[in-house]
Structure 1
Amino acid sequence: MNQGRMNAIAAVTNFKPISEPLNFAETSATEIFGSNVFGDKVMKAMLPKEIYKSLKKTIEMGEELDPAVANVVAQAMKDWAISKGATHFCHVFYPLTGLTAEKHDSFLTPDGKGGAMAEFDGKMLIQGEPDASSFPSGGLRTTFEARGYTAWDVTSPAYILENPNGTFLCIPTAFVSWTGEALDKKTPLLRSLQSLNKQAQRVLKLFGKQTETPVTCFAGPEQEYFLIDRNFYFARPDLYIAGRTLFGAKSPKGQEFEDQYFGAIPRRVLACMMEVERELYKIGVPVKTRHNEVAPAQYEIAPIYEQGNMATDHNQMVMHTLRSVARRYGLACLLHEKPFAGINGSGKHLNYSIGNAELGSLFDPGATPHANAMFLVFCAAMIRACHKYSGVLRATVASAGNDHRLGANEAPPAIMSIYLGEMLTDVFEQIKKGGAKSSKNKGVMHVGVDTLPPLPMDPGDRNRTSPIAFTGNRFEFRAVGSAMSIAGSQVALNAMMTESLDFIATELEKKTGGKKSLLNQAVTEVIQDIMKKHEAIVFNGNGYSEEWHKEAEKRGLPNFRNTPEALPALTTKESIALFEKYGVLSPREVESRQEIYFEYYCRTIKTEAALAVKIAKTMILPGAIRYQSDLAATCANLKTIGKEYRSVALDEVTAKLRGLQDAIVALEKLCEKENGDAHAEAKYLCDKVLPGMLEVRKWADELEQIVADDYWPLPSYMEMCFIK
């Protein structure tokens, strides 16, 4: 047996809790929740009443921050953090790598008398100055233009992170260049929320609705991930460098028995999950659901729906916490979209809606959607937005990792479409024909067992093959990759909705001329026009089918199959105009992002290709040659003593070794070629290098199936996915 497998089996069979069991009876989850957050309860207790009120207006109403407030808040935040054992504070930000970045500074300042004192003022709270030169900027900054600023995001609360050797204060911030251009994921998201509120309020005003709080977006990202034993992880250079397996023959058993999905959670995995949840409770992340996912060794954690900006910050914390806690249990958390070929990859289903605390979700149809004109307007706006800007939305989920997932029979296709369900489709069909008079009612399901209660039945089924599915009071955007920030897709959705609401508000204002009596007729006419022009995006059938691909082409829906095809949609005239008009991203900022994403794609494929060559040449090839040598020696020995022998196994190994060697040489030549700009290089890597990598993998995986187990240098799919 190979050593990695033996160590993993020992880790599983000898697993013991690494610390005292978490005692939720002694300290309940409600007591733990938010205990490390500088939230409303702490602010109310520690801040003067007027300061507290002023800060709440900024947080809840979007009013401009009073600079005089910052010093008082900073003092209270420092005292609170030090009482929690913090020695340092850090501005947390989200550069265009998609990862979380942080710069730590100590509270301590020498007092000039041989001692030190703790200092933290409003200036330190509001603004930080990390070096911006080493973060991707896509041409917005050159290497010698190093200055960048982090700016306190007052709408996302500060929190304490714990470490075995202490704690530190984390302050969510935006990250901008010296010229004020966005170098991060948060700044465009905050801008998009402002523009969304402005246009949504115009529509609400037409319906006689006035709200004190701004309209915002809400998000609930369902995070999928894999957990495997770390003994396997460190025995696989492709996993710890590329995040996915570049080699691996199919396991005799995969997910075809469907026994993993919602099955009993393995003991070690559940212990890890419980600690993940406890750590997330402390920093106020409202995680709700945990379960086994479809693929072996795949799991999901999902939070309660919350405001979009905070949901984005919280999701970054979820990914960080999953990785860090998994290590404590001898596990490695894999967030790549497709760590294993042949079984399901991982997505991050983004549940999206708009609204506020006063109105609830503006995508909520109520009991009679046909009579809910305001809902129909906002729903029609989403239909129009997704059809008009489907390319932009597709581009936000384009990456080398997600390319392996989108379009497979496990994830939504790369073609953007909307699933409305039977009830809403029927309502919009009625409107097209002149006006909606009725809605399909919710029924009652009788299971046929007297002891089971009648179950309320939704008027339509769910569609797991749709990229954008209406699910009751929100739309679920299912194309986001598991390793991605949800900020980019929210920025696009908010900007698209802003433009659609602007269009609808303008049309309704024209048609009504300020007369409320004309509103219903105007709404009908506007929705009829939208459905006539944009109903091609609505599809309730099987998004995986070949028939849908043909039908989508007839409807004129784009099918961007990979990242090089998808990213150009960001810089079309329509896309740039969309972001520029509503102050979400300037043309330079849009172009910089496209450049960064192309570069990241190219670097990813180049790294994987170089790694594939290295593993094939230095691990797989030597192991297979040793096996070939032993087979040859066996044949020679049998021949020497006059015994009959057959060289079938030797011939097969020799042929596949020759194929592997030829494929390696071909891939090396492909990797040597220099190309033009990032777009041209991305296309070359996609069209030539990726197929070259697959050819190397084909021969290696075939060898894995016949080479003796103790000669094979890499842990197998069977081992990694089923030893838990």
Structure 2
Amino acid sequence: MKTDIKEIFGCQVFDEKKMKDYLAKDTFRELEKTIQEGKPLNPKIAEAVAHAMKEWALENGATHFTHWFQPLTGVTAEKHDSFLNIGKNGSIDMEFSGKELVRGEPDASSFPSGGLRATFEARGYTAWDPTSFVFIKNKVLCIPTAFYSYTGHALDKKIPLLRSMDAINKQALRVLRLFGHDEVTSVKTTVGPEQEYFLVDKKYYEQRKDLIYTGRTLFGAPCPKGQEMEDHYFGTIKDRVQEFMQDLNRQLWKLGIEAKTEHNEVAPAQFELAPVFSTTNIANDHNQLTMEMIQRIAKEHGLVALLHEKPFDGINGSGKHNNWSISTNTGINLLDPGNTPQDNAQFLLFLAAVIKAVDEHQDILRLSVATAANDHRLGANEAPPAIISIFLGEQLTEVLKAIENDEPIEESGTEVMRIGVDILPKIKKDATDRNRTSPFAFTGNKFEFRMLGSSNSIAGCNIMLNTAVADVLEGFADQLEGAENFEDALHQLIKTTIKEHKRIIFNGNGYDDSWIAEAEKRGLLNLRTTPDALPYSIKPENIALFKRQGVLSEEEARSRYEITMEEYTKIVNIEALTMVNMARKQIMPAVMGYSKTLTETALSKKELGIETEYEEANVKEISAYLTEAMTACSTLDEKIKTLHSITEFDKAAYYVRDEILPAMDALRAPCDKLEEICDDEIWPFPTYGKLLFGII
């Protein structure tokens, strides 16, 4: 087995090095233009590229190829076709054409479309995305592709993401030209997504219907020890987990994924993996592969990886911190303050653009992370609240305050602060502490969007973030390009932007109840649940935004609203059905059996004249909770039937929020109390103690 990282890194990726080895020079140069400059692929070279890919794939043991795409189900999809072709004379050839490389036609009828097409309209197409390298996974040549309908509508998350990247590239270049950066030819957003997950022993997982069907525990009393000792965080990694991580790293490195950091997270049995930053499109593809590999490699070690945002009640959930920045092809990080007045002015303009974008478009940022699972996580245990705000830290906040009020600050002496004239203080990258409760925190040269859930695609939040910032940059460029005095216009623009949008800046404790009142006073949105947030995606102003930046058509925006609302309802419906099933077929029979045993024991002891206070007290308590559970179970069952009679997708989602979820809580409460009373030996499935501390 190859063990040298240099030797194995990218060995399963048809990257630029392999392209040079397998392609003629002219062909490689043509393909490189497409990859680096986003130019359309020259059809004349498609055959040559496909042949080279096939030869490389066959040499590496691949027998099939697939167009690997990301439909609106939230996971990846693939249909495998072999290279095998049998000729008329019975000869066997291995073939892969340029047409097969560039375009595929998977059946689209069973993927969610949100009304973009009828069920009988089955055609869907996949188109090769040359900006994301082809790779081999399980002896299959995987071709990253976009997925679209017969009418040209985007049916995936990749197309809008690429569109949003084009939008911010176009507008950022306009701004950079004003600062004299004619050498910059492209601007890209970059992302480093930190992936959190739980590991549980496979034998315990297989005994829990809730984990199998929903990915989270629907029942479970807290065990004596949780995360209160804080001894798991950054603690010594157990041997079994370390072996899993080593295998995972090897597989990720082979796929060219720069897995960098691994450690124990705060909750017991929780872990994190973080990669090196990469272009947003590539980061998105890599994160999808990372989630798949985490789950696959875990099973090889007798473990199961839980990517659900809140698999256990009462302890930390799992997020995916989206570390986002903007960089040029010349290596300039536009969110790095720099050391010169010009860099400072440029940085402050882009910073102002982000502040304005986040303030004006709180709604689409919030809805981009809205899911049934994430609703359980947001607002506690180090997850940010549902209210969008920006953490800048004291030093940067003071700089902005001084600009807004034309005041001096200590580092710049007594002169009034003016952008591009006085040298602003050097803004140190770690000048202030981190704020774990902030949804959107500046961390030196990037923003960390902390609201994203662990199982989500990072495409959604980055589509919204890129689009919002691109729109603000367009407005900035319009103003500055027509200015008589650029320096004066720049100063006034930044000053005005800070003044009008400073309400979004909050450096305090996001968990404090006073912040909720303060946020409301500031006019900030508090969209606590998914059905609260999703309707904002079809607000006329937001549809106009998506259309203006060329990211989503009105039809595409409305389809995503319908799909995500329906997904919310379906997820909770499955959870509710699973709860009823577990309560009736597992918990209640086990508890009644235990109660019978206690009753028989009491009767036997009475015959002997022995005190039965313990048995009687427990039987009475069990009987009371059992009655409560049975009533709650029947109520939930009836509400599920009502839900199934609601035909409008939006009304169904609201019914789930207002009726189904409270009924589920009402069923869980007595069942968890029964777990605390009953003997561990009779409880029908593994407890939190076994799940959280069962990895040895």
Q: Indicate conservation of the 8 Å contact 1:394/1:566, yes or no.
A: yes
Of residues 474, 482, 490, the one that matches 2:454 is: 482
Alignment match, 2:544: 577
Aligned to 1:8: none
Match of 2:501 in 1: 534
Deviation sequence 1:585-620 (CA, Å, 0-9, x none): 000000000000000000011110011000000000
Sequence identity percentage: 50
Aligned partner of 2:28 among 41, 45, 52: 52
TM-score by length of 2: 0.96
- Give deviations 1:520-571, integer Å, cap 9, x for gaps: 2211100111112111111111111111111100000000000000001111
For the pair 1:591 / 2:552, whether they are aligned, the reply is no
8 Å contact kept, 2:184–2:329: no
Answering whether residue 657 of structure 2 is matched by residue 679 of structure 1, we say no
Residues 1:465 and 1:367: Cα distance change in structure 2 (over 3 Å): farther
Gaps of 5+ in 2: 407-416
- Kept in 1: contact 2:337–2:426 (CA 8 A): no
Using the alignment, how far apart are the partners of 1:642 and 1:307 within structure 2?
A: 78
> CA shift at 1:224, angstroms?
0.1
Which residue of structure 2 aligns with residue 651 of structure 1? Answer: 620
The partner residue of 1:173 within 145, 155, 180 is: 145
Show the counterpart of 1:707.
678
Alignment partner, residue 558 of structure 1: 525
The amino acid across from 1:533 in the alignment is: E
Q: CA offsets per residue over residues 646-691 of structure 1, 9 Å max, x none?
A: 2111111111111111111111121121335211111111111101
Letter aligned with residue 84 of structure 1: N
Determine which of 629, 643, 646 is the counterpart of 1:660.
629
Cα deviation for residue 266 of structure 1 reads 0.7
Question: 1:636 Cα shift?
Answer: 1.0
Aligned to 2:123: 147
Query: Which stretch has the larger CA shift, 485-494 or 631-640?
Result: 631-640
The alignment status of 1:84 with 2:60, answered yes or no, reads yes
Residue 385 of structure 1 pairs with residue 357 of structure 2: yes
The C-alpha deviation readout for 1:446-478, integer Å capped at 9, x for no partner, is xxxxxxxxxxx8322211111010111111100
2:87 pairs with 1:115: no
The answer for the alignment partner of 1:43 in structure 2 is: 19
Deviation, 1:138, is 0.2
Whether 1:323 aligns to 2:295 is: yes
The amino acid that maps onto 1:250 is: P
CA distance in 2, matches of 1:259, 1:440: 40
Residues 26-425 of structure 1: matches in 2 within 5 Å?
A: 28-162=4-138, 167-367=139-339, 372-425=344-397
- Structure 2 CA distance for aligned equivalents of residues 371 and 319 of structure 1: 38
Q: Report how far residue 408 of structure 1 moved.
A: 1.7
CA distance in 1, matches of 2:562, 2:394: 41
| Cα pair 2:189 2:280 within 8 Å, conserved | yes
User: Over residues 23-69 of structure 1, what are the superposed CA-to-partner deviations in whole Å (9 max), with x where a residue is unaligned?
Assistant: 73xxx111110011100000011111111111111111111211111
| Structure 1 unaligned blocks of 5 or more | 1-21, 444-456, 513-517
Partner letter of residue 51 of structure 1?
A: T
Structure 2 distance, partners of 1:462, 1:230, is 36
Structure 1 match to 2:663? 692
1: CA distance, partners of 2:527 / 2:238:
39
Contact residue 395 and residue 427 of structure 2 kept, 8 A:
no
Separation (CA, whole Å) in 2 of partners of 1:268 and 1:356:
42
Determine the C-alpha separation between the residues in 2 that align with 1:352 and 1:645: 65
1:645 Cα deviation from its structure 2 partner? 2.0
Deviation at 1:212, TM superposition (A): 4.9
**Residue 430 of structure 1 aligns with which residue?**
402
Report the counterpart of residue 629 of structure 1 in structure 2.
596
Separation in structure 1 between the aligned mates of residue 178 and residue 87 of structure 2, nearest angstrom: 61
Deviations 1:140-192 (A, max 9, x none): 01110000000000000001113xxxx11100000000111000010111111
Distance 2:424 2:662 in 1: 51
Partner amino acid, structure 1, of 2:665: L
Q: What CA distance in whole angstroms lies between the structure 1 residues aligned with 2:331 and 2:20?
A: 26
- Residue type at the aligned position of 1:532: K
Contact 1:423-1:440 at 8 Å conserved across structures: no
Q: How far did residue 196 of structure 1 move?
A: 1.2
Give SS of 1:220's match.
Answer: strand
2: distance between equivalents of 1:486 and 1:109? 38
SS at match of 2:483: helix
In 2: Cα distance, 1:314 partner to 1:645 partner: 62
Deviations 1:214-237 (A, max 9, x none): 111101000000000001100000
Partner SS, residue 90 of structure 1: strand
Give the conservation status (yes or no) of the 8 Å contact 1:409–1:544: no
Match of 1:617 in 2: 584
How far 1:368 sits from its partner (Å)?
Answer: 5.5
Aligned partners of 2:358 and 2:347: how far apart in 1? Answer: 17
* 1:440 Cα offset (Å): 5.1
State the alpha-carbon separation in 1 of the partners of residues 121 and 2 from structure 2.
52
* Native 8 Å contact 2:71 2:147 kept in 1: yes
Aligned length: 678
Corresponding letter in the other structure for 1:658: T
- CA deviation profile, 1:384-416 (whole Å, cap 9, x unmatched): 000001100100000000000011232011000
- 2:207 is aligned with what amino acid? A
1:506 aligns with 2:478: yes
Q: 3-state SS of the aligned residue for 1:360?
A: coil
Distance 2:470 2:427 in 1: 32
In the TM superposition, what is the alpha-carbon distance from 1:642 to its structure 2 partner?
Answer: 2.7
TM-score calculated relative to the size of structure 1: 0.92
Name the amino acid aligned to 2:657: C
Distance in 2 between the 1:335 and 1:470 partners? 26
CA RMSD of aligned residues (A): 1.3
C-alpha separation in 2, matches of 1:235 and 1:383: 48
Give a deviation string over 1:242-271, Cα, whole Å, max 9, x none.
000000001110000000000001110110
Name the amino acid aligned to 1:654: S
1:510, distance to aligned residue in structure 2 (A)? 2.5
Structure 2 residue matching 1:259: 3-state secondary structure = coil
CA distance, structure 2, for counterparts of residue 483 and residue 60 of structure 1: 30
Equivalence map 1:430-509=2 (5 Å)? 430-434=402-406, 435-436=417-418, 437=422, 439=424, 458-509=430-481
Task: State the distance in 2 between where 1:270 and 1:147 align.
Answer: 45
Deviations 1:364-393 (A, max 9, x none): 111357961111111100000000011001
User: How far off is 1:438 after superposition?
Assistant: 5.9
Instruction: Measure, in 2, the Cα distance between the counterparts of 1:462 and 1:210.
Output: 36
Corresponding position of 2:535: 568
Distance 1:702 1:322 in 2: 34
Q: Deviations over 1:299-323 (max 9, x none)?
A: 0000000000000000000000000
Letter in 2 for 1:620: I
CA distance in 1, matches of 2:690, 2:612: 33
Aligned partner letter, 1:568: P
